[in-house]
């Protein structure tokens, strides 16, 4: 009898230990990854659930708003949800969450709640967990309207608008065809005391866009509500010069080895004269394109306020100003081999001249950059930048703050350069725009300062 009692006691004790241990098994881990803090017409609910070494017996998601609960998902009736078993222990569930798919959703505060239960001890015990996220449902698009007047866009050039957007946290700016130019708080452009809804955006009609490209103000909130508003502007066409460039073997033999050494990914080889001509085409096309992309990504680090003051310093030779967007045709041994657009101004005076900053700014890039050779890119804030190429030496480094007319380096012939010269370009969001405007005090006054004064 005593032995039997001890045995029962031992068994009961063992069962108790297992029971407690099963109770300590990890509860399901729920993580809600979407929505963010705003939900609109077409937002998404997305969450993951992990139940290590266990089976989910229940998984539910509901919407709670104004005391009402609406089912969104359950394991038994997944509806239009997308359920993915990501790992043996984790599944990801996503389904539409917005007015369009959940019509009961009203504008205002709401919560999604996800709850899960897993089994332990062969289903005798279970562990549950819950996660929730509160959000604002919003179905009205942000309101945006341009407040500045008289907008003149030169083909290949830039222009600026002052506008108001509410709510101020909407992403807003000017759309030119498929290119978006973000706006920045007007206070950063020197409009003292401007509330955050007053914004300034620079935009451009690029040399390779259509003259009739639609230009409008756009605003979009995190919930995906979007508005467009048009504003008055005039576009002035411009003819770009055509020029002919003769490529000689001597030129290729001088410039290519240096460029190709710096661009191992290009896959260009330099053995026979034929491979030189092929390498030139790779450099003039593939590398040129990769360089343009790098300039754009570097320029994305622009400051949200003006770093510059007054007109930009001209190159010092008015005759170079016709050089922007020259359409160049390249000839090799009398045969046309390529066409490109020259997106800057070339200044050749003598060799190794000091290259000076066109305005106050911050160095975004100071290094070798493919066809541009040794290059300095300055940020002047709000998407405005300037680029100095083919330098023989560089005197600044990325992150440096520079003053107008501070020396950045010396001119040279690194990269794809026919001789010692400075290649200069103004940039807007990393895309070349005509510099003449930025050199012109009248343009700076009419296009920028006047509008900022009126905004005050």
- How near is the Cβ of 344 to Zn ion at its closest, in Å? 5
In this structure, the number of other CB atoms found within 10 A of the CB of residue 397 comes to 11
Contact between 420 and Zn ion per CB under 5 A: no
CB of 33 to Zn ion, least distance (A): 47
Instruction: Output 141 or 344, the one with its CB closest to Zn ion.
Output: 344
Q: How far is the CB of 342 from Zn ion (least distance, A)?
A: 6
The residues in 342-371 that bind Zn ion, with binding defined as CB under 5 A, are 344, 346
Nearer to Zn ion, 200 or 387 (CB): 387
Minimum distance between the CB of residue 345 and Zn ion, rounded to whole angstroms? 7
User: Are 66 and 88 contacting, i.e. CB atoms less than 8 angstroms apart?
Assistant: no
Q: Which residue, 28 or 432, has its beta carbon nearer to Zn ion?
A: 432
Nearest distance from residue 372's CB to Zn ion, in Å?
A: 9
Find the shortest distance in angstroms from Cβ 323 to Zn ion.
Answer: 7
Return the bridge partners of 162, or none.
200
User: What is the nearest approach in angstroms of Zn ion to the Cβ of residue 207?
Assistant: 14
CA distance 383 to 160: 11
Per-residue string for binding with Zn ion, 171-200, x by CB under 5 A?
A: ------------------------------
Give whichever of 344 and 373 is closer to Zn ion, judged by the CB atom.
344
Using the rule CB under 5 A, give the single segment among 69-77, 188-196, 415-423, 439-447 that binds Zn ion. Answer: 415-423
Q: According to the binding rule CB under 5 A, does residue 423 interact with Zn ion?
A: yes
Output Rg (C-alpha) for the chain, integer angstroms. Answer: 31
Report the distance separating Cα 189 and Cα 162, nearest Å.
Answer: 10
Q: In 3D, which of 302, 410, 428 has the Cα closest to residue 356?
A: 410
As a residue count, the chain comes to: 456
Q: In the range 199-218, which residues lie near Zn ion by CB under 5 A?
A: none
User: Considering the complex, what minimum distance in angstroms separates the CB of residue 424 from Zn ion?
Assistant: 8
CB 262 within 8 A of CB 369: no
CA-CA-CA-CA torsion for 314, 349, 246, 321, nearest 10 degrees? 20
Which residue's beta carbon is nearest to the bound Zn ion? Answer: 423
Q: Which is nearer to Zn ion, 133 or 390 (CB)?
A: 390
Write the CB contacts of 308 (distance below 8 Å, at least 6 apart in sequence).
Answer: 359, 360, 361, 380, 381, 384, 404
User: How many residues at the interface with Zn ion, by CB under 5 A?
Assistant: 3
CB of 346 to Zn ion, least distance (A): 4
Q: Which residue has the tokens 């289903």?
A: 123
Q: Does 288 bind Zn ion (CB under 5 A)?
A: no
Q: Considering beta carbons, is residue 163 or 280 the nearer one to Zn ion?
A: 280
Distance CA 275, CA 289 (A): 20
User: 410, 354 in Cβ contact below 8 A?
Assistant: yes
Smaller CB separation from Zn ion, 148 or 411 = 411
Q: Which is nearer to Zn ion, 173 or 370 (CB)?
A: 370
Could you give the CA distance from residue 356 to residue 409 in angstroms, rounded to a whole number?
7
**CA distance linking residue 368 with residue 372, whole number of Å:** 7
Nearer to Zn ion, 35 or 344 (CB): 344
Site for Zn ion in 325-344 (CB under 5 A): 344
The answer to whether 199 and 165 are in contact (CB under 8 A) is yes
The minimum distance between CB 422 and Zn ion, in angstroms, equals 8
Which one of 230-238, 244-252, 276-284, 422-430 is the stretch in contact with Zn ion (CB under 5 A)?
422-430
Residue labelled with tokens 């020396």: 407
Closer to Zn ion by CB, 69 or 243: give it: 243
Smallest distance from the beta carbon of 421 to Zn ion, in angstroms? 7
DSSP secondary structure of 258-318:
HHHHH-GGG----SSHHHHHHHHHHIIIIIHHHHHHHHHHHHTT--SS----SSPPP-S-G
Q: What is the DSSP letter of 126?
A: E
Phi and psi at 292, nearest 5°, equal -60, -40
Least gap, CB of 269 to Zn ion (angstroms)? 26
**Which one of the spans 65-73, 83-91, 407-415, 423-431 is the region binding Zn ion (CB under 5 A)?**
423-431
Of 159 and 346, CB closest to Zn ion: 346
Give the span between the Cα atoms of 400 and 367, in whole angstroms: 13
- Residue 118 or 390: the one with the smaller Cβ distance to Zn ion is 390
Q: Which stretch binds Zn ion (CB under 5 A): 238-246, 350-358, 417-425, 429-437?
A: 417-425
**Would you report the helix, strand and coil content of the chain in percent, each value rounded to 5?**
20, 40, 35
Chain residues that interact with Zn ion, rule: CB under 5 A: 344, 346, 423
């Amino acid at each position: 009898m005593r032995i039997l009692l001890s045995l029962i006691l031992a068994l009961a004790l063992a069962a108790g230990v297992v029971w407690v241990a099963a109770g300590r098994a990890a509860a399901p881990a729920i993580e809600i990854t979407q929505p963010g803090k705003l939900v609109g017409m077409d937002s998404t609910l997305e969450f993951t659930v992990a139940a290590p070494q266990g089976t989910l017996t229940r998984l539910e998601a509901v919407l709670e708003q104004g005391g009402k609960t609406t089912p969104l998902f359950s394991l038994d009736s997944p509806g239009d949800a997308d359920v993915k078993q990501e790992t043996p222990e984790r599944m990801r569930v996503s389904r539409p969450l917005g007015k369009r798919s959940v019509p009961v959703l009203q504008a205002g505060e709401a919560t999604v709640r996800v709850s899960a239960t897993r089994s332990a001890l062969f289903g005798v015990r279970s562990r549950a967990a819950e996660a929730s996220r509160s959000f604002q449902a919003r179905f009205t698009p942000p309101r945006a309207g341009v407040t500045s007047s008289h907008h003149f866009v030169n083909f290949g050039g830039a222009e600026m608008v002052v506008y108001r957007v509410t709510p101020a946290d909407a992403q807003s700016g000017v759309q030119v065809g498929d290119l978006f130019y973000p706006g920045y708080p007007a206070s950063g452009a020197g409009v003292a005391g401007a509330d955050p809804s007053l914004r300034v955006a620079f935009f451009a009609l690029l040399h390779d866009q259509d003259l009739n490209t639609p230009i409008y103000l756009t605003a979009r909130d995190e919930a995906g509500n979007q508005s467009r508003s048009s504003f008055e502007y005039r576009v002035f066409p411009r003819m770009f010069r055509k020029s002919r460039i003769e490529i000689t073997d001597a030129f290729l033999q001088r410039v290519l080895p240096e460029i190709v050494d710096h661009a191992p990914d290009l896959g260009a080889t330099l053995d026979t004269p034929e491979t030189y001509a092929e390498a030139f085409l790779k450099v003039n096309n593939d590398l040129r394109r990769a360089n343009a992309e790098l300039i754009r990504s570097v320029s994305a680090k622009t400051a949200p306020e003006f770093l510059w003051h007054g007109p930009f310093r001209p190159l010092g030779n008015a005759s170079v100003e016709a050089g922007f967007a020259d359409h160049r045709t390249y000839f090799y041994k009398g045969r046309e081999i390529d066409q490109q657009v020259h997106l800057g101004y070339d200044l050749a005076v003598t060799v190794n001249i000091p290259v000076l900053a066109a305005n106050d700014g911050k160095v975004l890039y100071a290094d070798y950059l493919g066809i541009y050779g040794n290059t300095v890119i300055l940020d002047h804030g709000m998407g405005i930048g300037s680029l100095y190429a083919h330098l023989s030496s560089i005197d600044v480094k990325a992150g440096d703050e520079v003053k107008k007319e501070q020396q950045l380096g010396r001119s040279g012939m690194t990269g794809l350069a026919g001789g010692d010269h400075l290649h200069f370009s103004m940039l807007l969001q990393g895309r070349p725009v005509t510099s003449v405007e930025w050199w012109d005090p009248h343009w700076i006054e009419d296009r920028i300062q006047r509008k900022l004064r009126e905004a005050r």
